[in-house]
Amino acid sequence: MLVILLLAAVLRMGAPGVSEFKRDEANLSQLALDLARGRSFPLLGIGSSVGLPNAPVSVYLFAIPFFLSSDPTLATLFVGLLNVIGVGMTWALARRYYGPAAALTAALLYAVSPWGVIFSRKIWAQDLLPPFVIATLASGLLGFIEGKRWAQFVHLPLLALTLQIHYGAFVLLPLTALMIAFGRRRLTRAFVWSVALLIALALPFAAGLIQAGFAHPEQVARVLSSGSNPHAIVVSGDAIHLAALTVAGTEIHSLAGPVAFQQYLASVPDAYPIFNLIAWAVLLSGAWLAIRSLRCRDARAPVDGVMVAWLAIPPLVFTVTWTAPFPHYMIPMMPAAYIVLGAGVARVLGLPHPVFASPPAPLHRSGEGSQSALSCAQTMTKVMRLVAIVAILAVAALQVWLTVTLFGFLDAHDTPGGFGTPLHVLLDVRGAILNEHPGDVLVIGEGDTPPYDETSTVWRVLLDGLPSVRFVNATRMFVLPDHAAVYVGSAQYQAVIGQRLPDMPRLFPTRPGADPLAIWRLDADAVRNHLQPASAVNVTDGRLANGVTLRRVQFIERGDGLTIRTWWRIERTANEPNVLFSVFNHIVDGDGKKWGQIDGPFWLGRYWRQGDTIVQEFNVSLGEGHPPLAQLWLRTGMYTYDGARFYGIDVLDANGAPAGQTIIMPLR
């Protein structure tokens, strides 16, 4: 068993840098970091696909590794360790009820399960489930089937914790009801007292939901209806297919994404047909246990019924398409699948059962002929056992090979639409930035709003603790502070950034075919010439009431219109940091007729620092038959929107008094 645990640990905890760290992982890590650093005590977790926020228990668990280090590697290893413990718990549960052979079979197949490994290697709430699911089921079996008081006392609290780790664990509720029904005559006061502990454990989440406005059922229903795309409610076999593939370990090539998966499949043997035999074996073993639980009246019959229900309920509840099923919804049933298969293998091979179960009837007859028949049967049994052991070990070895090969492929190949940039690449960049001891870091990406935009969300966590980390949407603008700073982002923005920074970036390769990450350094004196292009027009009356001043404008004629490049300077920090301002640009003639218009969002006020220069470009198309540019004017300014009304920002005169809401200047 120690060898199996070691194998499980290598697969789940080896090379932790070859894991994903995207938006969901970063948002969960941020909450855990805030808790570990004493900045907040969350009563809710991150959002969920069904619309309701998750409970905070996963945050509390991840705060343990983040209390020790802000490096996500430790939290990733924490997930792997819990899942190794889950493999050990699977062995213990199978051994108690089905014997040592069943336990070793279940533990080995779970240890090498490709999807079991995949769901053990990143900072996901659902990846924490296995040991808690097993502990919840084990306490129910011990408490209600075997009548142990302590187990009755801990079952409901364990159920409460597991349900609050991830909503997918709701499939345990009917299992609890089933076990209570089996053991209703064995219930003690310990079970009654456990209800109080269950309520106490649910209070933080309940308080968080009330605080967030989910006290009324109507609000919950409204959120649930908006949490997923509308779809018809029908009966579908998709969930059963997902259950089969997660148990068998097939379709793991999906991690390589829709572009690169064929390349991965070409690098490994076609083992999926062999792996599918595992799913069929689980199905046959489950059918045998179901029949046994109905026909037998021994002490193990209720256990068999619970095991079959544990295996069947998760896929069955998703056959009705009340929500779209995903492979990770099958995480709670995976230990059951391997325990059921282990029990089936042990039964077919006539291997010993534990004392808890009824021993199989002995095979005997009187006389010499019976001795010969017994000897022949024993020989056949030994051969069958040897064949079974070799087959199980061969399948296990093949699964290990494909899993290790998969993660090697994901680390060495670009996988658009699939596995994200490996964590170790992000950590290399993080280490280089931390070594700079920067006073200000600007993260360049396609978004600037954590927790919604992936780039900003990820780097907010990775650079947690630095004095200033700000986010710039490079598709909309560029920011030049008046002090030394470090830029980090994809090298695809080099064309944008390189126009304004004199130094070449330091590149960090990601994977072949993917854009590298880059770090640029900005010295305060190095960009002065870039702020004053020769063709730019100085603006003398561009001061706005929100603390922003339009300093320069450059007009660049192009085939079908005009490029407007503007330089805005931040004169003070924003009075309302969460207000989003937008810029308007109208091209008009002398009579005020509009020939072109383009609006765009400005930089979020929470990031403003006095002395920052924000450079924006707007491409505006001009209407057919427009006058010459020398006869056109630019009207520009800013406005904001509160959800109901638009508000223009006043332009101030030299004395600071409002002078309208528009800055006007000729194009030539």
What phi, psi does 40 have (nearest 5°)? -165, 160
Q: What confidence score (pLDDT) does residue 364 get?
A: 45
Distance CA 569, CA 574 (A): 12
Average pLDDT of the chain, as a whole number: 88
Q: What is the DSSP letter of 235?
A: B
pLDDT band at 412 (very low <50, low <70, confident <90, very high): very high
DSSP code per residue over 480-548: E-SS-EEEEEEGGGHHHHHTT-SSPPEEE--STTSPPEEEEEE-GGGGTGGGS-TTPEE-SS-BBTTSE
In the prediction, which pLDDT does 526 show? 59
Q: What is the pLDDT of residues 57-69, one digit of tens each?
A: 999 999 999 999 9
Structure tokens at 101: 């052979």
pLDDT at 365: 45
On whether the CB atoms of residues 342 and 258 are closer than 8 A, the answer is: no
Q: Would you say residue 381 has pLDDT above 80?
A: no
Residue pLDDT, tens place only, 71-126:
999 999 999 999 999 999 999 999 999 999 999 999 999 999 999 999 999 999 99
Q: How far is CA 165 from CA 168, 227, 355, in A?
A: 9, 19, 35
Cis amide leading into 505 (omega within 30) = no
* pLDDT score at 46: 87
Decide: 416 and 460 in contact? Cβ < 8 Å.
no
Average pLDDT over residues 401-408: 96
User: Can you name the residues that pair with 259 across neighbouring β-strands?
Assistant: none
Return the closest-CA partner of residue 490 out of 476, 469, 475. Answer: 475
Percent of the chain past pLDDT 90, that is, above it, reads 64
Closest to 593 in 3D by CA, of 627, 564, 618: 627
Per-residue confidence (pLDDT) for residue 527, from 0 to 100: 56
Report, as an integer, the average pLDDT of 138-146: 95
Q: Which of 213-222, 516-525, 567-576, 589-598 has the lowest mean pLDDT?
A: 213-222
* CA–centroid distance for 74 within its chain: 16
pLDDT tier at 558 (50, 70, 90 boundaries)? Answer: confident
> Does residue 534 register a pLDDT over 70?
no
Residue 306: predicted pLDDT? 95
Q: What is the pLDDT of residue 634?
A: 93
pLDDT at 218: 63
Q: What's residue 525's pLDDT?
A: 65
From the list 475, 447, 412, 49, the residue with the least C-alpha distance to 223 is 49
Residue 323 is predicted with a pLDDT of 78
- Domain locations in the chain? 2-358+368-409, 423-530, 534-666
Of 141-150, 198-207, 469-478, 534-543, the poorest mean pLDDT is in 534-543
**CB-CB contact of 34 with 42 (8 Å):** yes
Condensed to tens digits (0 to 9), the pLDDT of residues 443-497 reads 999 888 998 999 999 999 999 999 999 999 988 888 989 888 999 998 887 666 6
If 0-12 CB within 10 Å is exposed, 13-18 middle and 19+ buried, where does residue 360 land? exposed
* Residue range 418-430: mean pLDDT, rounded: 95
Phi, psi of 646 (to 5 degrees): -95, 140
- In terms of pLDDT, which residue wins out, 188 or 88? 88
| Mean local confidence (pLDDT), 146-173 | 94
Q: pLDDT tens-digit profile of 241-261?
A: 999 999 999 999 999 999 999
- Range in 13-22, 219-228, 476-485 with the lowest mean pLDDT: 219-228
Tokens for 190, please give them.
Answer: 């310990």
Angle 189-211/149-165 helices, nearest 10 degrees? 20
Angle, in degrees to the nearest 10, between helices 368-412 and 272-295: 130
pLDDT for 9 = 97
Residue 360 has pLDDT above 50, yes or no: no
More confident residue, 233 or 495: 233
- Convert the pLDDT of each residue in 493-533 to its tens digit: 766 665 556 567 888 999 998 889 999 888 766 555 555 56
pLDDT, average across residues 341-365: 66
CATH 2.60.40.10 fits 534-666, yes or no: yes
Instruction: Name which of 183-192, 227-236, 622-631 the model is least confident about.
Output: 227-236
pLDDT score at 500 = 58
CA distance 638 to 643: 16
pLDDT of residue 366: 46
Q: What are the tokens at 148?
A: 């142990």
At residue 585, the 3 state secondary structure works out as strand
36's CB contacts (< 8 A; 6+ apart) are 63, 66, 67
**CA torsion angle 647 653 659 665 (round to 10):** -90
For residue 52, is pLDDT > 50? yes
